[in-house]
Amino acid sequence: MNTVVTSVGELQPSGRKLRQQRVEKLIKFLLMIVAASGMLITTGVVVALVRPSIDFFRSISLGEFLGTTAWFPLYEPPDFGVWPLIIGTFSVMFIAVIIAVPGGLAVAFYLSQYASDRVRRKLKPTLEILAGVPTVVFGFFAINFIGPNIAAKIWIFSDVGFYSSLSAGITVGLMIMPMMTTLAEDAMAAVPRALIEGSYALGATKRETCTGVIFPAALSGIIAAGVIAMSRAIGETTIVLLAAGSTANFTFDVGQPMQTMSSFIGFAGLGDQPTGSTGYQTIFAVGSLLFVITFILNMFSRKIVARFREVYE
Amino acid sequence: MVDKMVNSIISEVSGASPKVGSVLNVSVSASQSSSSANFANEIIMESAGLQVHYGDFLAVRDVNLTIHRNEITALIGPSGCGKSTIIRCFNRMNDLIPSAKVGGNVYYKGIDLYGPEANSGEVRRRIGMVFQKPNPFPKSIYDNVAFGPKVNGKPSKKETDEIVERSLKRAALWEEVKDRLKQSAFSLSGGQQQRLCIARALAVNPDVLLMDEPCSALDPIATARIEDLMGEIKTEYPIIIVTHNMQQAARVSDRTAFFNTEIGANATRPTGVLVEYDTTRKIFSNPSDTRTEQYISGRMG
């Protein structure tokens, strides 16, 4: 049998092709560095948080931090019970999520299933503009409009003052609603058209199709959207600082001023805390706690998303 | 030449499955009178001057079909001839496409489906549909079948159990799934999923069943099972089936409508037209139109 033999270089690239392949390698390396920097920055943030926090817990016991209920870290004598901040944080988050999640879902259902093309073309850009409004503007909106006109009217259990966590929570909810809408709508758009047609073909109405087929099929995406909304609500600083005041009240009455963990950090960070002082270290201790709480929420929600994941085929 | 081809199809099928062979015998005896008008089975659905536009584009025009009880009607023709568009007019699925405009009439027991007496939801309940690709909901086998009855008048748990069992039995799936009704529908094979979709459609007790290329995603064995099933249920549910597969039309159907495309004056894209509609025996053995003959003998399409 005869075998065809050729020169060794025939299957090797040459000229332009060879240069292109070198560029490929370079690009891969550059992209890897960019990706790795994300991890480096996260590590850097954790280290920057942890070191002053450790110093803080050298002088203040964890028992006092998590076991008492008065928070006056910058007063003399100081109190370091963090519970008012935790309650404030969850109050604002809870109110915001109650508004943003059902509201965002309703708008998403409307946009993806009910709205005509013409309405959708007008409504979507408007929502995107709303998502781009600076939070400080939302903060003044809360003080001037939401506080006196909405929060003071709907909260019948106590007198709502100038500052209230209710007004802050409502405004944060409105602020994150467009994002919730967009994410939920993306999740609904990913539901295969064949499933939706299958539902209509059985005589189901729009509402029955939305609740019976689209919602369960998009549930994992919707939960993920809700979790991101929740994280945004926990982290929101400016609106809360402006609308809920800076008194760390130990109360469940959302008509009262409250301080959240992030608004405390924003507030104390503006004051002149000497580097290394206990007041300075408090900021980092609260930051660490915030980090831990959001981390736990994220882990928890990943579990939930995995649990509800619907595979389409 | 056409005759020879059909004969080979018939002998091949009757050898493999006596049930389908007997179906063809029915159509043979009925079509001896050569005209479909003499067919004894009464008409349950009818289209008159049916045409569909997508925006400005005329997709298919002048479709006059009669759908008879106890029969399977096959719609065949090359890609883009409007078969799927037409079948979707029979249960108003085209309502869901904003740009689609349906002209002409479709009658179900004499009522115009697009008239004021017809509600789209009730139309779709009466005229069930099975799609090209199996599209079970991401739910359990049980919940898939129970979905239709639930949205059409909340039966009790016991009634639902009965409907689910009856429908799965009717779709020849009960024996394979009765011990795992709570499992996800996606745990089933493709052919089983398609039979589940048939069970789901039958669960709302329709009067007519539309099938849009129901076997195109299935292997030959799963296809044969679906075809057997169609033969079994057609006396209860008249079937309209779109198929790309001429042999399938010849095997299962009693009547065949052949669609083709043509480019009209001032048109840039081809429009679908109904070329010939007759008994399957007539279409495959002695078509009146040369285009039909060319298509089924493989010289076109």
Reported as a single tens digit per residue, the pLDDT across B6-15 is 444 444 444 3
| pLDDT exceeds cutoff 70 at B269 | yes
CB-CB neighbors (< 8 A) of B96 in chain A: 197, 200
| pLDDT exceeds cutoff 80 at A78 | yes
- Same domain for A129 and A212, yes or no, is yes
CB-CB neighbors (< 8 A) of B121 in chain A: 203-205
CA distance B135 to A131: 36
Count CB pairs under 8 A between chains A and B: 74
pLDDT at A161: 80
Q: With 0-12 CB in 10 A as exposed, 13-18 as middle and 19+ as buried, what is A6? A: exposed
- For B125, nearest residue in chain A (alpha carbons): A203
Are A21 and A246 a contacting pair, CB within 8 Å?
no
- Same domain for A295 and A157, yes or no, is yes
Mean pLDDT of chain A: 89
Q: Which of A38, A59, A80 lies at the terminal end of a domain, its last residue?
A: A59
Residue A198 to residue B200, Cβ atoms within 8 A: yes
CA B2 to chain centre: 24
| pLDDT exceeds cutoff 80 at A225 | yes
Residue A186 resides in a domain: yes
Q: Name the one residue in this structure whose structure tokens are 């990706």.
A: A35
| pLDDT exceeds cutoff 70 at B270 | yes
pLDDT at B10: 42
Strand ranges (E), A177-275? none
- Same domain for A228 and A111, yes or no, is yes
Residue A203 to residue B151, Cβ atoms within 8 A: yes
pLDDT at B18: 39
CB-CB neighbors (< 8 A) of B133 in chain A: 194
| pLDDT exceeds cutoff 60 at A28 | yes
pLDDT at B33: 35
Are B204 and A203 a contacting pair, CB within 8 Å?
yes
Domain carrying residue A152: 71-308
CB-CB neighbors (< 8 A) of A208 in chain B: 151
**pLDDT tens, position by position, B32-85:** 333 444 456 889 999 999 999 999 899 999 999 999 999 999 999 998 898 999
pLDDT at B210: 96
Residue A217 to residue B137, Cβ atoms within 8 A: yes
Instruction: Tell me the three state secondary structure of residue B162.
Output: helix
| pLDDT exceeds cutoff 70 at A296 | yes
Residue A5 resides in a domain: no
CB nearest A200 (choices: B122, B124, B137): B124
- Same domain for A32 and A93, yes or no, is no
Tell which residue, B82, B55, B54, B56, has the closest CA to residue B65.
B82
Tell which residue, A135, A72, A84, has the closest CA to residue A289.
A84
pLDDT band, residue B248 (cuts 50/70/90): very high
Strand ranges (E), chain B? 43-54, 57-68, 72-76, 100-108, 111-112, 127-130, 208-212, 239-242, 255-262, 271-279
- Same domain for A154 and A219, yes or no, is yes
Q: Which residue has the higher pLDDT, B128 or A8?
A: B128
- Same domain for A133 and A78, yes or no, is yes
| pLDDT exceeds cutoff 90 at B123 | yes
CB nearest A212 (choices: B91, B98, B147): B147
Residue A205 resides in a domain: yes
Quick one: which H or E segment has residue A201?
A: none
| pLDDT exceeds cutoff 90 at A103 | yes
- Same domain for A155 and A211, yes or no, is yes
Domain count, chain A: 2
Are B44 and B69 a contacting pair, CB within 8 Å?
yes
pLDDT band, residue B264 (cuts 50/70/90): confident
> Distance (Å) from the C-alpha of residue B32 to the closest C-alpha of chain A?
37
| pLDDT exceeds cutoff 60 at A144 | yes
Chain B residues 190-219 within an 8 A CB cutoff of chain A? 197, 200-201, 204
Task: Residue A97: give its domain's CATH number.
Answer: 1.10.3720.10
Residue B151 to residue A312, Cβ atoms within 8 A: no
Residue A188 to residues A54, A115, A193, A214, A218, Cα–Cα distance (Å): 45, 14, 10, 6, 5
Q: Which residues of B245-255 are buried (b: 16+ CB within 10 A; e: fewer)?
A: ebebbbbbbbb
> Distance (Å) from the C-alpha of residue A187 to the closest C-alpha of chain B?
15
- Same domain for A99 and A183, yes or no, is yes
| pLDDT exceeds cutoff 50 at B29 | no
Q: Which of A6-10, A127-131, B165-169 has the lowest mean pLDDT?
A: A6-10
For A299-307, what is the mean pLDDT? 80
pLDDT at A310: 58
| pLDDT exceeds cutoff 70 at B28 | no
Tell which residue, B258, B256, B293, B279, has the closest CA to residue B34.
B279
**Cβ contacts of B33 within 8 Å, gap of 6 or more:** none
CB-CB neighbors (< 8 A) of B194 in chain A: none
pTM: 0.79
| pLDDT exceeds cutoff 90 at A5 | no
Quick one: which H or E segment has residue A223?
A: helix A215-235
Residue A6 resides in a domain: no
A198/B contact by beta carbon, under 8 A: yes
pLDDT band, residue A91 (cuts 50/70/90): very high
For B236-249, what is the mean pLDDT? 92
Mean pLDDT of chain B: 85
- Same domain for A92 and A239, yes or no, is yes
CA distance A176 to B277: 59
| pLDDT exceeds cutoff 90 at A128 | no
**pLDDT tens, position by position, A207-222:** 999 999 999 889 888 9
pLDDT at B66: 94
The H-assigned helical ranges of B31-173 are 83-87, 120-126, 141-151, 157-170
For B253-274, what is the mean pLDDT? 88
Chain A residues 134-153 within an 8 A CB cutoff of chain B? none
ipTM over the 0.85 cut-off:
no
Residue A28 to residues A21, A35, A310, Cα–Cα distance (Å): 11, 11, 34
CA distance B282 to B192: 34
- In eight-state DSSP terms, residue B172 is T
Q: Which CATH number fits domain B2-32+42-134+214-296: 1.20.120.550, 3.40.50.300, 1.20.120.80, 3.40.50.10090?
A: 3.40.50.300
Instruction: Tell me the three state secondary structure of residue A180.
Output: helix
CB nearest A202 (choices: B138, B186, B204): B204
Residue B151 to residue A197, Cβ atoms within 8 A: no
- Same domain for A197 and A241, yes or no, is yes
**pLDDT tens, position by position, B132-148:** 999 999 999 999 999 99
Ranges of each domain in chain B:
2-32+42-134+214-296
- Same domain for A28 and A89, yes or no, is no
Residue A126 resides in a domain: yes
- Same domain for A138 and A224, yes or no, is yes
Residue A203 to residue B124, Cβ atoms within 8 A: yes
